[in-house]
Amino acid sequence: MAVTDSAQSVRLMDLKTGREYTTFEMPEPQVIRTLAFSPDGGLLAVAGQTQVIHVWNLRRIRQELAELKLDWE
């Protein structure tokens, strides 16, 4: 699940255990208004006060973390 724990960051967490996987910060300071996963869960879109929507490719990020030996089960 994705939750906002501050006005400018999003935490990805395991719904069952509450374990935090990572935290994403907005690229520029602004209050987060909306967030949503793509239907397959591979993308996370976050909209703030501006008309810009930031999209994080979660599969790509996890792949890059795995290459650095920072992946999780």
Paired tokens of 10? 């999003």
In tens, the pLDDT along 17-59 reads 999 888 888 888 888 999 999 999 999 999 988 888 999 999 9
Q: How far apart are CA 57 and CA 4, in angstroms?
A: 18
Higher pLDDT, 73 or 2: 2
Residue 73 belongs to a domain: no
Residue 48 is predicted with a pLDDT of 86
Domain count, the chain: 1
CB contact burial 46-62 (16+ within 10 A = b; e otherwise): bebeeeeebebebeeeb
Residue 72 lies in a domain: no
Q: What is the 3-state secondary structure (H, E, C) of 4-29?
A: EEECCEEEEECCCCCCEEEEEECCCC
Predicted local confidence at residue 73, as pLDDT? 67
Domain carrying residue 54: 2-67
Look up the pTM and report it.
Answer: 0.80
Token pair recorded at residue 39 = 């239907």
What value does the mean pLDDT take over residues 52-73? 85
pLDDT of 26:
86
